[in-house]
Amino acid sequence: MPGMVLFGRRWAIASDDLVFPGFFELFLRVLWWIGILTLYLMHRGKLDCAGGVLLSSYMIVLIVLLAFVICNVLAIVCVSMKGTICNPGPRKSMSKLLYIRLALFLPEMVWASLGAAWVAEGVQCDKTVVNGIIATVIVSWIIIVATLVTIIIVFDPLGGKMSPYSSAGPSHLDSHESSQLFNGLKTAATSVWETRIKFLCCCIGQDDHTRVAFSSTAELFSTYFSDTDLVPSDIAAGLALLHQQQDNISNNQEPAEVITHSPEPSQEADLDAELENCRHYMQFAAAAYGWPLYIYRNPFTGLCRIGGDCCRNRTTDYDLVGGDQLNCHLGSILQTTKLQYRDFIHISFHDKVYELPFLVALDHRKESVVVAVRGTMSLQDILTDLSAESETLDLECEVEDCLAHKGISQAARYIYRRLNDDGILSQAFSVVPEYRLVIVGHSLGAGAAALVAIMLRNVYPQVRCYAFSPPRGLLSKSLHEYSKNFIVSLVLGKDVIPRLSVTNLEDLKKRILRVIAHCNEPKYKILLQGCWYELFGGNPSNFPTELEGANQGDLTQPLLGEQTLLTHCSPAYSFSSDSPLDSPHKYPPLYPPGRIIHLEEEGSSGRFGYCSTAQYSAKWSHEAQFSKILIGPKMLTDHMPDILMRALDRVVSDRVAHGGASNVDVV
C-alpha cells in the first residue's frame, strides 16, 4: 500500500507483497541450481558424445543465469520485508529490482527455448544428463508461465489512470480537479467492474433484471473502492489486526461494563415460545434449499433416502415448477419437514435474478400455512444480494420512510405476486381457512420473507415471520420498528450476514484503514501472526496494532481518497465520513427485521464450525448489537443453516432440561 507503479501504471500489488512468493521462488531456484550444478559436476566427463558440447554450454550458462536470478530474488525478498504497510519508503528500490528481474526473464526464455529445441533434436548422450535437461526445460517453462499468469492477475485496468496520483496523491489538486479525478476514476471503475461481473456471470443470461443487477453491483464495488489505494493483501492484514484488536478489547472488558438485567417472567416465557417456534420453522427454511443442503447435512445416508424420489415422476400430480432434479428436491423437502405429499400447495425452484425459489405447505402441527423462501445458492441470488441500493416500498400502512434493500424488495415483490395474484394463498386457505400464515427463510430468503410479510400484513393481519440469519441492510428505521410486532429474527454468534450492510461495510473499511495505518509491523509478520492466531489462538495483546509516538511521522502516502490521514495520524484521529457510500439517498442506513434473538456461544469450544460440546445462551438483543462487523473464524460458519439448526436444537434442549430458566439474558 499503495499499489506499485511500474511501466507508468499502477498494479494491484504492493512492494511488501513479494515476501512469500519470493521465498517460494527462492526455494525452487536454489533447489534447481543445486540440482543442475550437481548434475554437471557428476556427469561432465560423460559429455563427449554428439551434442555434448551444446549440453555442457547449456548447463554452464544456466548455472550462471540461475545464480544471478537467485541473487535478484533474494534482494527482492529482503527489500520487501522492510518498512510497514503505510511506510513504503524503505522499499523505494523495489521497482529497480523488479525491472532487473523482468530483464532476466529474456535470457531465461531464450535459454528455455534453446533447451527445448536441443532436446527435441534427440541428443545422444548419457540418459541421466538428458533427463536432467528435460526436467530443467520443463521447470523453466512452468516458472515462465506462472510469472505471466501472475502478471495478468495483478494487472489493474485502471492503473494507467491512477498512476500519476498513486505516488503524489491528490492533495496537490484543487477541489474542482480532485472532483473531476474521482468522478473519472469512478466511471472507469464502474465499467471495469461491470465487465468483470459479466464475465463471471456469463452463463446466467442477459435479461433486463440481470442487466440492472450488473449495473447496481458494479456501481457498489466501484464506489466502495474508489477512495482508497488498497491491495488485497492490505485488506487481509487489516482483517487479521482487527480480529486481534477486537479480542483484546473483549478480554480486557470488565463484566460490569455489559449492562444486563434479569428477564421478566413474561419475557422469559415469550423467549421460550419463540425459540421453540424457531426450531420448528427452521426445518422449512432448510427444506427450501432442496436436495443440495439435505445431502450436505446427511453425506452418508442422504442419497439413499431420496434416491427413490429422484427416479419417480410426480411432477404432473403436484404444483412443482422450475429447475432441474425437481423430484430430488421434493424428496429432500419431505425428508426434512416430515410432511406428506398432499401437504404441499406449491413448490417452485424457478431461479432468476430478483426471482427466488419458494414453497407453500400446510403445517398441521402448528396449524399454519407456511411460505418458505430459499436463501442464496446461485449466481443469480448473489446478484440479488449485491443490488444494495435502497428503494421505496408502496405499502398500505401508516409508516413513513418505507425504504428497503432494492434487490431483496424486488425478489419479495415477485413472491408477493405469485402468492397473491396467482391465487396460491387463496388455494391454501380454501383448504384450511382457520390456519394462520407464517413466512420463513434463511439468509437472503429471510430478508425476502420479512418483506413479503410486511406486504401481506394488511390482507393477513395475523401473519408471522421467522427470519433466520437475515441481512442487516434490509429496512429503514421506521419499518424496522413496525416489523417488531410480527417478525422474529434469529442470529447465531458472530454471523457476518446479520451485521452486513453498506453502512457497516464502510465502517469496516475505515477501521481497516485506521488499524493498518497505526501498525508498526511489516505486512508479512502481520499475515504470519494472523494465520497462527486464526488457527491456534493465542494472546491478542501480544500483537502490536498502534504506532508508537516516535514512529507516527514515518507514514507516507497510504491512501488515495483519505490523504488527510497523513496529517492526522494519531491513534485518536477519527476518519471523516465523506465517503460516497455515506450518501443518504442511495445508501441510507438500513436495519434488520423485527425483534432479534441472539444465540451466543459460552466459552470457546473450537475455532471453526460447530462442536457437539458447545453451550449456547439465548437472549433478546437490540439491533445496535449488530451495528459492527465482527471478525473471527466463525463469522462465516455461524451463517451455515446446518450449524444454525444444531445450535438451535442444543439451546432449546438445554432450556427444556433446565426448565427454561438458564441461559437467558436480555440486552
Q: Is 229 a catalytic residue?
A: no
Cell of 225: 473502492
The residue behind cell 444486563 is 260
What is the structure's pLDDT at 328?
A: 84
Residue 271 corresponds to which amino acid?
Answer: L
What are the DSSP calls for 232-248, one per residue? HHHHHHHHHHHHHHHHH
Q: Which of 40, 106, 42 is nearest to 68 (CA)?
A: 106
CA gap 545, 521 in Å, rounded: 8
Residues 6+ apart with CB under 8 A from 179: none
Contacts of 128 (CB under 8 A, 6+ apart): 39, 43
**195 CB-side CA count, 13 A:** 8
Q: For 401-413, how does the pLDDT look when each residue is reduced to its tens digit (9 = 90+)?
A: 889 999 999 999 9
User: From the candidates 368, 443, 476, 621, which is the catalytic residue?
Assistant: 443
Residue 258 has pLDDT above 50, yes or no: no
The answer to whether 175 touches 569, Cβ cutoff 8 Å, is: no
Alpha-carbon distance of 562 to 230, in angstroms, equals 11
What pLDDT, in 10s, does the model give residues 618-659?
Answer: 999 999 999 999 998 889 999 999 999 999 999 999 888 876
Quick one: which H or E segment has residue 456?
Answer: helix 444-456
- Quick one: pLDDT band at residue 564, thresholds 50, 70, 90? very low
pLDDT band of residue 552 (cuts 50, 70, 90) is very low
Residues 6+ apart with CB under 8 A from 386: 213, 216, 217, 220, 407
DSSP string across 82-137: SSBTTB-GGGTTHHHHHHHHHHHHHHHHHHHHHHHHHHHTT--S-HHHHHHHHHHH
Residue 541 bears catalytic tag: no
pLDDT in tens, 318-331: 556 665 567 788 88
* pTM to 2 decimal places: 0.84
Going by pLDDT thresholds of 50, 70 and 90, the confidence category of residue 355 is very high
The catalytic position among 229, 363, 385, 495 is 495
